[in-house]
C-alpha cells in the first residue's frame, strides 16, 4: 500500500490522481470531512470527473447529522484496501486527516464504543455555550495524552474522547494499541514552506467562496442540518454559519477561515513530523510528480 499525506493545500489530491494513473491505483480517501454527503465545496471534495478517471473510496458515506467514528473509518478503509488488491490494483491512501492515516498505516486497535447520543448532545451544547476549550481542559485532567493530541477547538474529537472515557472508565489513550499491518508500505509525505502554504490555503478559501461555499452552507442549513452538528463545525462551515446568522460579515468570516486553517496546518505538521519512515518531498517550488511517481514505480515493482 502507498500512503500520500501532508497538510491542507500542499497538493495531495492532484498528485494522488496522477500517481494512480501511473501505477494502476485506486484512492482510499483519508479525510474526516469528505465522508459527509452534500458537503462538497468546503471539504474540497474531488469532482465527479476526477472520480470517474480514478476510483475514489471512503467519500460520501453518511449524512451530516449521522455519527461517524474513527473505528468505522478504519474498518471501511481496510475492507476497501482488500477489495482493491483483489482487483489487482494498488491502494493509495491519500488525505490530510492524521488520525485516519495513522489508524490504517499503523494498525491501531480502536475502542469499539457505541455513540451515546444524549451525552453527545449535552457535551456539544456545553461547548456551544461556553466554548470547546473548557471541555478540552476536562479531557486534559482525565487523559493528558489524549488531550495533547487533540486541538482545543476540535469539539467533535473532544466529545468522542470524553464519551469513551465515561463509558469505559479508562483513558482513551490507554485503549489505543497498535498491531503492525501485514502488507508492505511506501509512505510519501508532502511539505511546503509555511508562508507559501498559508498563501495557497488563503487562495483556496477565496476560490471556495467564489465557487459557492456560502450557498452550500445555506442549503445545508435550510435542509435542517444545524450549525451545532459536529459535521458543521468543520473549517469553512462554522465560520460561514456565523456569517449567515449575522454574527460576522463575509469578509470577517473568510478571514476567520484563513486563520483557523493556518492553525489546522500547524496541527497537521505536528502529527506528520512523527512519521520518520516517510519519504518527504518539498512542493514549495519543485513539482513533486516526478519524484513521487519514481518512488511509487520502484516500490510496486519490488517483489519483497
pLDDT tens for each residue of 198-224:
999 999 999 999 999 999 999 999 999
**Average pLDDT over the chain, rounded to an integer:** 93
Inter-CA distances, 134 with 48, 169, 227, 302, Å: 41, 20, 20, 51
CA distance 161 to 180: 23
pLDDT tens for each residue of 241-291:
999 999 999 999 999 999 999 999 998 988 888 888 999 999 999 999 999
pLDDT tens for each residue of 174-205:
887 888 898 999 999 999 999 999 999 999 99
Listed in sequence order, the DSSP H helices in 41-130 are 48-53, 70-86, 98-105, 117-130
Half-sphere exposure of 124 (CA within 13 A, CB side): 17
Give the closest residue to 6 by CA, choosing from 281, 290, 196: 281
Instruction: State the pTM of this model.
Output: 0.85
At 235, the pLDDT band (50, 70, 90 cuts) reads: very high
Q: Provide mean pLDDT across the span 116-132.
A: 88
CA distance 150 to 285: 31
3-class state of residue 188 by DSSP: strand
At 303, the pLDDT band (50, 70, 90 cuts) reads: low
Look at 302 and 18; give whichever has higher pLDDT: 18
pLDDT tens for each residue of 42-74:
999 999 999 999 999 999 999 999 989 899 999
Q: Is the pLDDT of residue 116 over 90?
A: no
User: What pLDDT does residue 297 have?
Assistant: 95
CA distance 246 to 251: 12
User: What pLDDT does residue 188 have?
Assistant: 97
Query: 60-64 long-range contacts, Cβ below 8 Å, gap at least 24?
Result: 60/34, 60/35, 60/36, 61/35, 61/36, 61/37, 62/35, 62/36, 62/37, 63/36, 63/37, 63/38, 64/36, 64/37, 64/38, 64/39, 64/220, 64/225, 64/229, 64/231, 64/232
User: What pLDDT does residue 180 have?
Assistant: 86
CA distance 123 to 36: 22
Residue carrying C-alpha cell 498563501: 199
CA distance 70 to 66: 14
At 304, the pLDDT band (50, 70, 90 cuts) reads: low
Amino acid at each position: 500500500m502507498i500512503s500520500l499525506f501532508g497538510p491542507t493545500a500542499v497538493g495531495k489530491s492532484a498528485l494522488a490522481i496522477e500517481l494512480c494513473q501511473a501505477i494502476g491505483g485506486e484512492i482510499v480517501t483519508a479525510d474526516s470531512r469528505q465522508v459527509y454527503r452534500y458537503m462538497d465545496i468546503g471539504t474540497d471534495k474531488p469532482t465527479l470527473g476526477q472520480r470517474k478517471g480514478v476510483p475514489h473510496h471512503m467519500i460520501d458515506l453518511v449524512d451530516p447529522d449521522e455519527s461517524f467514528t474513527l473505528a468505522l473509518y478504519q474498518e471501511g478503509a481496510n475492507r476497501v484496501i482488500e477489495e482493491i488488491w483483489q482487483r489487482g490494483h494498488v491502494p493509495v491512501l491519500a488525505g490530510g486527516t492524521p488520525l485516519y492515516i495513522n489508524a490504517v498505516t499503523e494498525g491501531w486497535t480502536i475502542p469499539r464504543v457505541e455513540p451515546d447520543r444524549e451525552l453527545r448532545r449535552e457535551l456539544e451544547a456545553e461547548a456551544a455555550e461556553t466554548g470547546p476549550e473548557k471541555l478540552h481542559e476536562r479531557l486534559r485532567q482525565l487523559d493528558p495524552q489524549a488531550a495533547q493530541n487533540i486541538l482545543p477547538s476540535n469539539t467533535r474529537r473532544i466529545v468522542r474522547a470524553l464519551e469513551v472515557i465515561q463509558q469505559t472508565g479508562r483513558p482513551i489513550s490507554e485503549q489505543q494499541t497498535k498491531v503492525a499491518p501485514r502488507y508492505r508500505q511506501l509512505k510519501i509525505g508532502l511539505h511546503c514552506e509555511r508562508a507559501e502554504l498559508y498563501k495557497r490555503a488563503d487562495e483556496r478559501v477565496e476560490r471556495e467562496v467564489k465557487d459557492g461555499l456560502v450557498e452550500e452552507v445555506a442549503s445545508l442549513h435550510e435542509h435542517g442540518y444545524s450549525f451545532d452538528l459536529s459535521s458543521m463545525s468543520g473549517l469553512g462551515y462554522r465560520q460561514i454559519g456565523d456569517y449567515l446568522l449575522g454574527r460576522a460579515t463575509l469578509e470577517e468570516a473568510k478571514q476567520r477561515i484563513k486563520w483557523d486553517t493556518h492553525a489546522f496546518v500547524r496541527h497537521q505538521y505536528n502529527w506528520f513530523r512523527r512519521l520518520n519512515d516517510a519519504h518527504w518531498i518539498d512542493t514549495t517550488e519543485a513539482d513533486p510528480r516526478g519524484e513521487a511517481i519514481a518512488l511509487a514505480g520502484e516500490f510496486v515493482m519490488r517483489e519483497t
